[in-house]
Structure 1
């Protein structure tokens, strides 16, 4: 699969994950049984480039290492990129497309308790990468 098509696949993957997550979060926190999830168009380029130039190289470099190491690197890496991207958005656009409000948020740009979630997303991404590179 071409780089362009892998980027599109990564957008589809991450948007789907985000929409499902936000729908489940609304169900649990607000008892909203409509299961309406959402995302922002702003993040779509981040999903493509993050997959192509962040997660793919990490997987290629660490694919033979332990799952725990890969989990930790994905979790930390996604938090770092999320903070940097949020900071840049804030400087250029005036605000960040996402805003964390939990007790442990850092400047509303990242939420460190999501580290395990991001590590898990990275491990799932590995399967998407393998699928997209079999064509």
Structure 2
């Protein structure tokens, strides 16, 4: 889970840098200045882990409906963490106050399409991270080996197999001393 938290935070940073850089470029900023905040890493990481938890409960619903629920959770997390940072730091690192669709300067409702697109991408990203961060279960099933006349049935005996067979035979024939 810690590795996914770290990777989700980094993914969020990358998406934010791409989003803010593209926005700057569209405003004719030739350098396409992109910004993010250190605070965003734990916010993105924690929000994505919360989305993982919620996604299990929403599985019966169609993907577009799940994405709407994820969008609401994303807005809630952005508002709550912005409010908390404002209380702790005296200000929120992002301030949407000057924008028309801002709610208390902490979220922008006009970002709903971008958050919805992010929410649609969440499950494929989650599935990729889950497969990358969880080890496949290894099976420790004993191979069936049948020795017929000192040889493995259907195969030529190899030196290691014969050594194991000789060693096992030695244990079987050794006297068992159980005296105290």
Structures share fold, TM-score greater than 0.5: yes
TM-score between the two structures when normalised by the length of structure 1: 0.90
Equivalent position of 2:67 in the other structure: 71
Is 2:40 the partner of 1:43?
Answer: yes
Equivalent position of 1:90 in the other structure: 86
Distance between the aligned counterparts of 1:76 and 1:109, measured in 2? 14
Match among 23, 26, 31 for residue 24 of structure 2: 26
1:64 Cα deviation after fit: 3.5
Contact preservation (8 Å) 1:83, 1:109: yes
Q: Where in structure 1 do 4 or more consecutive aligned residues deviate above 2 Å?
A: none
| Gap runs ≥5 in structure 1 | none
1:105 Cα deviation after fit: 0.4
Equivalent position of 1:59 in the other structure: 55
Distance between the aligned counterparts of 1:38 and 1:46, measured in 2? 15
Q: What number of residue pairs does the alignment pair up? A: 131
Flag the structure with larger Rg. Answer: 2
Which deviates more, 39-48 or 64-73? 64-73
Contact preservation (8 Å) 2:68, 2:119: no
Contact preservation (8 Å) 2:13, 2:41: yes
Contact preservation (8 Å) 1:8, 1:48: yes
TM-score between the two structures when normalised by the length of structure 2: 0.69
Equivalent position of 1:13 in the other structure: 11
Match among 121, 124, 132 for residue 121 of structure 2: 124
Give the structure, 1 or 2, with the largest relative contact order (CA under 8 Å, sep 6 or more): 1
